[in-house]
Amino acid sequence: MTERLCASGDVAEGEVFQVDLGDGRILAVYRLDGEVFATDDLCSHGDASLADGEIENGQIVCPYHMGTFDIRTGEATGAPCSIAIRTYKVTEEDGAIMLVG
């Protein structure tokens, strides 16, 4: 089963885009090296939207305390963040980014 998150054009290379699924889940969708990725949008350390952060070397930098997460794995990679964020399998088809599963 797949669910449409956004149009492919909504997520530029090296950028992050917030998607509200309308069921309480808010995701951050990223495009890195031509691939798309998705994680929970909320930082596991502070109440901040990762979609407001910057991408640096495959990491999303939380705008609240500057902690970092690996976009591909969700691993917390920089203090003060120590708890991983959830990642989601996504695919790109027919001009849309789709959540898989």
> pLDDT, tens digit, for every residue of 56-72?
999 999 999 999 999 99
Q: How far apart are CA 18 and CA 20, in angstroms?
A: 7
Q: What is the pTM of this model?
A: 0.95
Assigned CATH class of 2-100: mainly beta
User: What is the per-residue pLDDT across 15-59, written as a single tens digit (0 to 9) for each?
Assistant: 999 999 999 999 999 999 999 999 999 999 988 999 999 999 999
CA nearest to 50, candidates 8, 59, 79: 59
- Residue 9 backbone dihedrals phi, psi, to 5 degrees: -70, -10
Name the amino acid, one letter, at 39: T
Residues 17-31 as b/e (b if ≥16 CB within 10 A, e otherwise) read bebeeeeeebbbbbb
pLDDT band with cut points at 50, 70 and 90 for residue 7: very high
